[in-house]
Amino acid sequence: MEDYHKPDQQTLQALKDTANRLRISSIKATTAAGSGHPTSCCSAAEIMSVLFFHTMRYKVQDPRNASNDRFVLSKGHAAPILYSVWAEAGFLQEAELLNLRKIDSVLEGHPVPRQTFTDVATGSLGQGLGAACGMAYTGKFFDRASYRVYCLLGDGELSEGSVWEAMAFAGFYKLDNLVAIFDVNRLGQSDPAPLQHHVEIYQKRCEAFGWHAIIVDGHSVEELCKAFGQAKHQPTAIIAKTFKGKGISGVEDKESWHGKPLPKNMAEQVIQEIDDKIQNKKKLSPALPEEDAPVVNIRNIKMPSPPTYKVGEKWATRKAYGVALAKLGHANDRVIALDGDTKNSTFSELFKKEHPNRYIECYIAEQNMVSIAVGCATRDRTVAFASTFATFFTRAFDQIRMAAISESNINLCGSHCGVSIGEDGPSQMGLEDLCMFRAVPNATVFYPSDAVATEKAVEIAANTKGICFIRTSRPENPVIYNNNEDFHIGQAKVVLKSKDDQVTVIGAGVTLHEALAAAEQLRKEKIFIRVIDPFTIKPLDKKTILENARATKGRIITVEDHYHEGGIGEAVCAAVVGEPGITVSRLAVSHVPRSGKSAELLKMFGIDKDAIVQAVKVAVSKSRNAE
């Protein structure tokens, strides 16, 4: 107990009183709302009291100060006690707590960053610790500041695998500025948690993951003060044995009370009972932080020089991504890269080679990698780029969805998209990724078709708010753009055009090159097509697509290395729906593919140049017959 000084009796009593006030506020708020989780709040009352009014150092009126200690409420359903803490500290008005869950209140059912004291949205359980790891990694290795990170988890969410991905990460990187608190209150939503009160098993698990683990009575403010005062050269897990609904007579440690507010009469009686235990109304003030977090500027990051590619040279966009990211790293020392043990395939290894201290190896734990990126990007401390095979982001969709709710600015690069990867087969092929990322609110989906476009996408993504996804391919394709070509979100490129064009073909990545090859073949037969590169699939350049479709008798063909559902074809259909005289034919991967050579698979699934030639001829003959 190097730094531990036992608090005096007066302080200990004040912390007990604070805990009971937090209980009362949580009960009042949930009863007023008619919904919420008062029992989950009550088990954590002493933990929250000691954390916020004894252990943590922060500026109450400046919750997002870069030097403040961080707190993540992973058990997001206990939001009312978090709000009660900020009211107790004086940042929120007590009366505002009674507006919990109302449509015009910032105090939502689970924490969201609309609240300035919330860094990441929680409530989808098992994700808070990964974000906390990202914050702690940033504090230790990038900011090199003294702020600490605290994460409160419920015992129910400890069944989530993502928690243990985060535990492994923190243990491996010895994040000694991170403290996880397990609120082991025994009861889940519909049943007791699997280990109930076997706190010693949690302790062994934590120790096996490289953590210093301490078992405490979670309702003893003195034991909590002592546990929080221990500093070790590894992350700390405080395993707090608590009782759900602590302090609510008739409800404490009883099943079937999860997520149920107390009826008004019962609440009044319970509040009176708890209030009788409070000895002093005096409020405690938190300690101030040491202001040693550096000033950071991540705005307007520009590439140090233009691209240096030659038209016609063959480059895989996945490699161009690595080159671009390494280059961007020289423009701003807050650009960081993360990968899940695929850096020699995604080419993020090029960034690691040039900026080894800003590369985070997350190993094969994609859910955690996304959470780490979200944590690193909080409070605008870094510009995070995380990469893996596009298909492996599907397992992290919940983390990506929550990142959007967290208003996070993270950049994700998915390589090895589509059947064009060839022999590795369907388990490695990203065929659902466009669909997934298009569904994410405020996401930007880049699908660059050559090395120049890829470099521009990386630069733009670094300066774009929200979730950015960059889809890169394995095959090497010719560079088609000049190095000075200008790119913008939502602005497509017409890469081939003549006054005699009869059909507009829209492709991206490998299929854009197939479309250009098809155009070459068709030209010999005096059939001309217009070819469009969308650059971003979300937002899609509806104006350019419609203008060109109208110039080609309303005929559009989309061709994509992706399943039909949710890809380029459906995005184009959504853009042109209700427009008179427009027809769309869609070429896409129609069923689960198999191993084979890239060209064989493009042919098998009807998305190669021959399939495009055929589709164009069908479209042209259809309208001729109609005439």
Give catalytic residues, as residue numbers: 366
* Cα maximum dimension of the chain: 94
Alpha-carbon distance of 326 to 320, in angstroms, equals 10
Q: Are residues 411 and 461 in contact, defined by beta-carbon separation less than 8 angstroms?
A: yes
> Which run of H or E residues covers position 336?
strand 335-339
Alpha-carbon distance of 372 to 390, in angstroms, equals 18
Alpha-carbon distance of 236 to 467, in angstroms, equals 31
Token pair of 103 as six digits: 């449509």
β-pairing verdict for 314-316 and 410-415: unpaired
Return the SS3 of 546: helix
The torsion defined by the Cα of 88, 90, 92 and 95, in degrees rounded to 10, comes to 70
Our measurement of the distance from residue 356's CA atom to the centroid of its chain's CA atoms, rounded to an integer in Å, reads 23
DSSP 484-522: T----TT--EEEE--TT--EEEEE-THHHHHHHHHHHHH
- For the four alpha carbons of 67, 125, 373 and 534, in that order, the dihedral sign comes to negative
Tell me the CB-side half-sphere exposure of residue 501, using CA atoms within 13 A. Answer: 25
Residues 6 or more apart whose Cβ sits within 8 Å of residue 572:
506, 540, 545, 556, 558, 584
Token pair of 452 as six digits: 């120049």
Degrees to nearest 5, angle at CA 49 with 73 and 271: 100
Alpha-carbon distance of 254 to 248, in angstroms, equals 10
Alpha-carbon distance of 547 to 557, in angstroms, equals 15
Return the SS3 of 472: coil
Residues 6 or more apart whose Cβ sits within 8 Å of residue 189:
156, 258, 259
Q: Would you call 366 exposed, middle or buried from its count of C-beta atoms within 10 A (0-12, 13-18, 19+)? A: buried
Considering just the CA atoms, what is the radius of gyration of the chain in Å?
A: 28
Alpha-carbon distance of 432 to 444, in angstroms, equals 16
Look at the block and give the residue holding tokens 């660059």. 448
Strands across the sheet containing 178-184:
70-73, 149-154, 178-184, 236-241, 212-217
Alpha-carbon distance of 383 to 392, in angstroms, equals 21
Q: Which residues pair with 476 in a beta bridge?
A: 316
Cα–Cα separations (whole angstroms), residue 209 to 141, 168, 235, 544: 21, 5, 10, 54
Q: Kindly report the backbone phi and psi dihedral angles of residue 474, in degrees, each rounded to the nearest multiple of 5, phi listed first.
A: -85, -40
Alpha-carbon distance of 169 to 171, in angstroms, equals 5
Which amino acid appears at position 270 of this protein?
V
Token pair of 218 as six digits: 């979670």
Look at the block and give the residue holding tokens 């030639």. 613
